[in-house]
Amino acid sequence: MLKYPEIPLDGLLRRAAHRDPHGTAIATELASVTFAVLDRQADRIAHWLTHVLGDRHAVVGVANTLDTVFPAAYYGSVRSGHTVALINPLVGEAALHHLCATAGIEIAFVPTATAELLTKMEDRLPRLRTIVVTDAADRVVPGASVPLATALAAVSHASFEPSPTDPGTPACVQFTTGTTGRPRGVRLTHRNLVANAAQIALAHDLDGDSVTVNHLPLYHTMHLNSAMYAGASQVLCRLPDPVVSLGVAARAGATHYYGLPARLYRLAADDRLGDGRTEGVPAGPRLKVVMSGGSALAPAAARRLRDALRVPVVQGYGLAELSPLACNQPLDANPAPGAVGLPLAGTECRVVSLDGRTPVEVWSTGEIQFRGPQLMAGYLDDDEPSPVDAEGWLTTGDVGYLDDAGGLHLVDRLSDVFKHDNELVSPSAVERILAEDPRVAECIVADWPDPEHGALVWAGVVLREIPSGHGGAATGILDVLDSVAEGANARLGHADRIRRLEAIDAVPRNPGGKPTRRALRERLHLQAAAEQAA
């Protein structure tokens, strides 16, 4: 039975500050803050928001930058009784406008580059009244109201006493990644986020002695909240070189290392890493686990990291609608490809048939559903169809199966799978085979419409080296592609075999690093239609 405190979200920080006021909460290459100092910073932001907004409720946007400002603004916003909406500072102008307009953001805590984008669209965001620039002490962006330091200069340093908060009220709006459509605003309650923080701390074995290294482009709230729940110290590594991040982990005495699959893939391929038998780059004697999330990490890369660092390399699975984590591999796992582990404590998982929506037997493929205390309160747009049924089951849109132990195995996104001769094809399964070819750096698979078979398997590969053949580079590339396809097809079933293979410069990804197939599939479908019409 999962136990977690019925406290407001900002209570995670307040509790950590009371337990270990002088302990390091967050450290960067520039500075560090204790739990008590971070709590006081959140108090000052709460005081300022109350001064500006009064007693009325508002939505406060906070850019989840990898620094110490984000947690202070995040917890300070909810402490003052407002809902915080996460702003991805890596998105472009159109996506930023959609996010701010949909959430109804009135005050935004953002870095300079995002503030400059917001000032260009102020006339299209009538509810946005104040832009607070978080990364420049004395610079005022034209059109923005105030640098953060100026805003807080005259604010009381006294502890902020929040009004009583119902844990069932919304605390945060988090947007989906938009890999399968326009990003949707997900309403998460205080209870959702506190429960998920407790679930993650338990699954990741976090406690007050833990030191986590976050080698990420953005600050993920699951890492912030779970570490705060456990009283763990967080080290934020903003340097892009993944090998350098291991040195940061070693110097910090890290116990947990969090990275994105794209960065871990590059780390695994780096010659500086060593192989576990030869001298390479150490990550420190306290390191217990490397954690990957956001999308699947290629099994070969996971094995290489495990052998070189001599610690487990594990993955989890989740959605914004689940606050976000739902499953996690055991920390001592050596998982099979596609396995994402057991449901978190207090979380139920089942697989239902794609047509009748009835539960299926173990090892049978169907659509994945979840329910648990971390399940969202709903979408911002009331007209958005809810994926939650009357019994509280969230339909994920992902296809997979459960094993005898209750472990979940992902097959693919329901929107990505397709049929060849009425047999289901999983692009991810084909990608796993392609990725094991040493000549392939990255790959992506999608459907090529075909009037006879329904669809053919199309694959795009990023080659590690551009070869040259007797007829020049183009001929050399074609020879390699033919060989890659032949090797993969020898291991694939009839429906999964690659019929069209193309060399590409890069796998399309969203700002968070997840591969995106939507635009790619649109291009392929247009090309196929043109070929069939010719």
Could you tell me what percent of the chain has a pLDDT over 70? 95
235 domain-assigned:
no
Rounded to whole angstroms, the Cα distance separating 346 from 140 reads 47
81 domain-assigned:
yes
The CATH number for 499's domain is 3.30.300.30
Rounded to whole angstroms, the Cα distance separating 316 from 324 reads 10
Question: How do residues 7-20 score in pLDDT, each as one tens digit?
Answer: 999 999 999 999 99
Q: Which domain holds residue 475?
A: 418-533
Beta bridge partners of 370: 349, 394
**Cα dihedral sign, 433-437-439-441:** positive
Rounded to whole angstroms, the Cα distance separating 261 from 514 reads 9
Q: Which of 166, 184, 202 is the last residue of a domain?
A: 184
**What's the confidence (pLDDT) of residue 495?**
86
Rounded to whole angstroms, the Cα distance separating 216 from 65 reads 10
Contact 351, 393 (CB under 8 A): no
176 domain-assigned:
yes
374 domain-assigned:
no
**What's the confidence (pLDDT) of residue 94?**
86
pLDDT of residue 67 exceeding 70, the answer is: yes
The CATH number for 70's domain is 3.40.50.980
Task: With cut-offs at 50, 70 and 90, classify the pLDDT of residue 181.
Answer: low
**What's the confidence (pLDDT) of residue 101?**
96
Question: How do residues 411-465 score in pLDDT, each as one tens digit?
Answer: 888 788 888 876 778 898 899 899 999 999 999 999 999 888 889 999 999 999 8
Task: Please list the alpha-helical segments (H only) found in 231-379.
Answer: 242-252, 261-269, 299-309
75 domain-assigned:
yes
pLDDT of residue 508 exceeding 60, the answer is: yes
346 domain-assigned:
no
27 domain-assigned:
no
Task: Please state the domain count of the chain.
Answer: 2
Q: Which of 163, 184, 205 is the last residue of a domain?
A: 184
Asked if the peptide bond before residue 162 counts as cis, ω within 30 degrees of 0, the response is no
Token couple for 180: 């399968």
Q: Which of 184, 211, 233 is the last residue of a domain?
A: 184
Q: What is the pTM of this model?
A: 0.84
321 domain-assigned:
no
The mean-pLDDT minimum among 61-75, 133-147, 220-234, 426-440 falls in 133-147
Task: With cut-offs at 50, 70 and 90, classify the pLDDT of residue 1.
Answer: confident
Question: How do residues 312-342 score in pLDDT, each as one tens digit?
Answer: 999 999 999 999 999 999 998 777 778 999 9
Question: How do residues 134-177 score in pLDDT, each as one tens digit?
Answer: 987 555 677 667 889 989 998 988 999 999 999 999 999 999 87
